[in-house]
Structure 1
Amino acid sequence: MNDAQKKMLSGLREQGLGYIKIAKAMGISVNTVKSYCKRHAIQDKNGYCLYCGKPLHQVKPGRKRKFCSDECRMNWWNTHRELVNHRNVRKMICPNCHKLFTVTGSKPRKYCCHECYVEARFGHHEPCQKNIPAINAMEKQDLDVMSLKDEGTYLATMNLAKKILVQGLITRKEYRRFKERMEEKYKPKISTIFIDK
């Protein structure tokens, strides 16, 4: 940029125009405008939106505003995900591909991706082709916890099926077929001792 453009940019910014409007008026990129304004500390006392560059109206009591709208706030955080400070981070192992993945937030998630969910639930989708990392001691402990959860689920499901069999709501053949499917799905090691053949 030449000196005339720099003066014009400073003038437009002091009038309260945002980065995008200045860039369009001058025929230069938005990033050039942003970097020049930040380098030379060209701001007004209220500040500008971090995403679109619009001037902000600050309210005295409360935190200083950084964004002009929720849309700008969401767009900015979506483009700066590495700066997000997640509070509730848990490590899980996908029951389909056995890959270790991290879960954030309070919403429970069992599978690492949608493909794994479809494969495990319906069995007719291409399996997840993600690389399975080597499992260290801590991940092995997490895997053992997941195995125990599967054992418990298998045991509870089979006890319920047995009660239904005793009540005469299903036949012995249906019970055996269901038991085979559950053993195939959960692959129990300990629980089979407690279930009658």
Structure 2
Amino acid sequence: MNNSDKEKIKKLRQYGLGYKRVAKMLNISVDTVKSFCRKNNLSGMMAKPKLDEVDCCRQCGDIMMQVEKKKPLKFCKDECRKLWWQHHRSELKKKKACKIICQHCGKEVMAYRYENRKYCSHQCYCAERFKEGK
């Protein structure tokens, strides 16, 4: 557990969240959160807000306050959203995916309908397009 996790635990506990919720938001063991809170006099706090009012960004883990009667936020800013989806592309709920073969390296890649992919990566695209410096 690093210093940023410790600060986040302190903030979340001050908002009134329980050990389980804090552990789930930060992907840390519940026992680790409990022992940290006991050592830093953060145990025994009563819950102040509703559990849905406080949440963490999926990418960077920063604490966000949710606004009532609005769609719940999953990311604190656009950069975080873009980075998260770049690394979790397989979690998109697109049903029709097909296998393509990279025209440069021959690697088999999953591509979604109407994506018109020919290469597995940008490096393969550049290597094929510019013939590797030839």
Length-normalised TM-score, structure 1: 0.34
Structure holding more strand per residue: 2
Select the structure with the greater relative contact order (CA < 8 A; seq sep ≥ 6): 2
Q: Max radius of gyration: which structure?
A: 1
